Amino acid sequence: MLIVQFVTPQIILSESHTMILLETWTTPFGLVPFDQIEDADFAPAMDMALDIALGGIAKIADDPQAPTFENTIDAQEEAEALLEQVASVFYTLAGSDSTPVREKLQREFAPKLSAYASAVASNAKLFARIEALWNSRKALKLTKEQERVLMLTRRSFVRAGALLVGVQASRMADIKSQLASLGTNFTQNLLADERTWFMALGPDDLVGLPDFVLQVAQAAGLEKGAKGPVVTLSRSLIVPFLEFSDRRDLREVAYKAWAARGANNGETDNRAIASETLALRHERASLLGFASFADFKLDTEMAKTPKRVRDLLMQVWIPAKARADADAEVLNEIMLNEGGIGPLQPWDWRYYAQKRRQSEHDLDEAELKPYLQLDQIIAASFDCANRLFGLEFKQVDVPLYHSDARAWEVTRNGKHLALFIGDYFARSSKRSGAWCSALQSQRKKPTQRFPIVINVCNFAKPSGAAPALLSFDDAHTLFHEFGHALHQILSDVDYSAVSGTSVARDFVELPSQLYEHWLEVPEVLQKFATHAKTGTVIPPKLLKRMLEASTFDMGFKTVEYVASALVDLDFHEGEAPVDPMKRQAEVLSKIGMPPAIGMRHATPHFAHVFAGDGYSSAYYSYMWSEVMDADAFAAFEEAGDAFDPERAEALYEHILSKGGSEDAELLYLRFRGRMPDAKALLKNRSL
């Protein structure tokens, strides 16, 4: 067994805060008392929670009573309850509002939590109890959900190395500890690069930028302490800058800085971390008897094998690349006609694509954006949830971790269902991207627990009292993350192990991507797309042009995504590459990556894959789920009503309420009656 010495930072802890993180909170909705928690609380609380959990595990393992579901499976969840409580609070803050102290704590907690997980997985007496339950499951009279939880528990132990002994068991513990630390370092390096870089804009640097970009750049300048507007590496600012700035030289500087995140040499360079991570993952898979990490990872997913993933990705890649190549010729011609010097470069694509969109669809982002107010799009997402699932949302005043965050109580038929928290604006203390997490997941047993769900986004924050405006892509992101939230909110299972988004990785994106479809339902936008200054509803002609342009530049969008997914798969499908950057270049060359398009996530900033192993060898899962979401929304279209009650009830009953309590493929078959193929996806993307 790996022996780890726990060393906590030297922090003076005030007596009044010693136990706050370990208490049963009597706050409204059982919400974390964020206003009472200090950074100094986390280290001692984490150590105490780990000790309590280890003690609880030892008690279960040494129980002289014969194993039962209650005294083994239920008991383990209860033993780890305080650890889950402390960790969920800490990692919510570390991801959305990081500080140097929290980053230090992350680095210290990673090996501790890994050591705990290894200690549990290698507890032979505990695993023997689980194995005994599994072997006698037919005589135990378990519910279907209990049998599923038991299967998943046993499987997680086996995949964590419970069957390994001696040197192999010790090595597995070492590998997991190293991977935990590497993932933390990767994330913090990326955040550091994103936080420190910005480009100041003088009066001559603003040409072509519409007012909404200038306002966001001004607000970013205030946050950075600059004297004027700046461009940062926040996607919500750099993308519109690349779309509108007439200064090609500045677009090049900004794009190259964006593409170089995690690859700037020095302490924040992630390339060596990526190499070491891939080698350790391959070794981990080998210890467990798998030919590659991809085989190990996909064994429990819907896809099952790397071949099925590659077949899907290439089925989409071929028409997407053909579309992107044709589009590149058009954009290059536009550039040359305007006196530009070719060839088309990655910092040119968005700029000339925006001009082409305006020309072909008479659609100007500056004209469209005032109709997509953040508060109105939030209201639209709530309204759709009300019409589909009968949910009501009431904003509540509760202490939260940041002034930008807001909270709503979610009810159904007058009964409390969940607390939903939205944290929408970009800031230097928040990691990039958008995500959904749960401070507390739903369960009924052994005690009732209601979900507390958070959506975190990185939309541009306006200056002063100006309303926050979104791009159509931003609005899609909001609906996407809220789809994840609904999966948590509507969960109706007994055990948290299979609650909400605790499903196969290539199934988890189905509810989120499916929910995006309702944003494009015309009657939704006709109600909620109102002008920020005049309050007028979006004109029908503008709405029509916007929806017709929703698949514009889909070759570019598909190519940048699929290229990333193919590189991820290749990294994990065979022997780990010694030089990931060289392997990345080889993969892109082999598939014929268009030179004017960059990967959506290049290796040094591919947080999905290297910040942890959640999406490692599984970045394809967005596309796998998209095959299903295109087909699933077609069920509503076939019913002739995007809010058809019968289809909505089936979606709730067979997918959203079930979590991972049953096999994902069975759940989809019950909803739709058949499995889809990629034709629906290609049609949805106009490919």
What is residue 163's predicted lDDT score, i.e. its pLDDT?
93
Residues 6+ apart with CB under 8 A from 450: 29, 30, 416, 417, 418, 419, 440, 442
Q: Are 404 and 522 members of one domain?
A: yes
What is residue 686's predicted lDDT score, i.e. its pLDDT?
81
Q: What is the mean pLDDT of residues 55-80?
A: 96
Q: Are 353 and 468 members of one domain?
A: no
Q: By residue range, what is the domain housing residue 602?
A: 296-364+552-684
- pLDDT (tens digit, 9 = 90+) per residue, 157-202? 999 999 999 999 999 999 999 999 999 999 999 999 999 999 999 9
549 pLDDT band (50/70/90 cuts)? Answer: confident
Q: Are 542 and 557 members of one domain?
A: no
Residue at 8 is within a domain: no
Q: Are 496 and 593 members of one domain?
A: no
Torsion on CA atoms 108, 114, 119, 122, rounded to nearest 10: -160
Residue at 253 is within a domain: yes
Residue at 282 is within a domain: no
- pLDDT (tens digit, 9 = 90+) per residue, 186-242? 999 999 999 999 999 999 999 999 998 999 999 999 989 998 999 999 988 999 999
315 compared with 15, residue with greater pLDDT: 315
What is residue 5's predicted lDDT score, i.e. its pLDDT?
27
Q: Are 140 and 220 members of one domain?
A: no
Which has the closest alpha carbon to 109: 91, 93, 82?
Answer: 91
DSSP state of 539: P
Residue finishing a domain among 163, 184, 208: 163
Total of domains in the chain: 4
Please, are residues 212 and 470 in contact by the beta-carbon 8 Å criterion? Answer: no
CATH number of the domain that 311 lies in? 1.10.1370.10
Residue at 171 is within a domain: no
Residue finishing a domain among 245, 261, 277: 261
Strand partners, 391: 412
Q: What is the mean pLDDT of residues 109-119?
A: 93
Q: Are 503 and 608 members of one domain?
A: no
Q: Are 580 and 544 members of one domain?
A: no
Which has the closest alpha carbon to 88: 55, 54, 113?
Answer: 113
| SS (HEC) of 67-134 | CCHHHHHHHHHHHCHHHHHHHHHHHHHHHHCCCHHHHHHHHHHHHHHHHHHHHHHCCHHHHHHHHHHH
Residue at 87 is within a domain: yes
What is residue 683's predicted lDDT score, i.e. its pLDDT?
83
The chain-wide mean pLDDT, for the chain, equals: 93
Helix, strand or coil, per DSSP, at residue 411 = strand
> Is the pLDDT assigned to residue 65 strictly greater than 60?
yes
What DSSP string describes 203-256? GGG-TT--HHHHHHHHHHHHHHT-SS-EEES-HHHHHHHHHH---HHHHHHHHH
Q: Are 326 and 455 members of one domain?
A: no
Q: Are 588 and 666 members of one domain?
A: yes
> Is the pLDDT assigned to residue 17 strictly greater than 70?
no
Helix, strand or coil, per DSSP, at residue 453 = strand
621 pLDDT band (50/70/90 cuts)? Answer: very high
Q: What is the mean pLDDT of residues 468-478?
A: 94
What is residue 2's predicted lDDT score, i.e. its pLDDT?
24
Active-site annotation, residues? 481
Please, are residues 595 and 324 in contact by the beta-carbon 8 Å criterion? Answer: no
Consecutive H or E run containing 619: none
Q: Are 630 and 520 members of one domain?
A: no
Amino acid in position 484: H
Q: At CA 253, angle to CA 607 and CA 430, rounded to 5? A: 35
Residue finishing a domain among 528, 548, 568: 548
What is residue 611's predicted lDDT score, i.e. its pLDDT?
92
End-to-end CA distance of the chain: 53
- pLDDT (tens digit, 9 = 90+) per residue, 313-358? 999 999 999 999 999 999 999 999 998 887 999 999 999 999 999 8
Residue at 101 is within a domain: yes
Q: Are 390 and 498 members of one domain?
A: yes
44 pLDDT band (50/70/90 cuts)? Answer: very high
Residue at 351 is within a domain: yes
**Omega prior to 580 cis, within 30 of 0:** no
Helix axes 306-337, 554-573, angle to 10 degrees: 140
Q: Are 654 and 671 members of one domain?
A: yes
Please, are residues 608 and 619 in contact by the beta-carbon 8 Å criterion? Answer: yes
What is residue 447's predicted lDDT score, i.e. its pLDDT?
86
Please, are residues 270 and 190 in contact by the beta-carbon 8 Å criterion? Answer: yes
Which has the closest alpha carbon to 481: 459, 509, 503?
Answer: 509
Which has the closest alpha carbon to 260: 609, 507, 547, 602?
Answer: 602
Q: What is the mean pLDDT of residues 476-486?
A: 97
Residue at 271 is within a domain: no
What is residue 18's predicted lDDT score, i.e. its pLDDT?
54
Render the burial of 275-292: b for 16+ CB within 10 Å, e for the rest.
bebbbbbbbbbebbebeb
What pTM did the predictor assign? Answer: 0.91
> Is the pLDDT assigned to residue 7 strictly greater than 80?
no
551 pLDDT band (50/70/90 cuts)? Answer: confident
CATH number of the domain that 145 lies in? 1.10.1370.40
Other CB atoms closer than 10 Å to residue 122's CB: what's the count?
Answer: 21
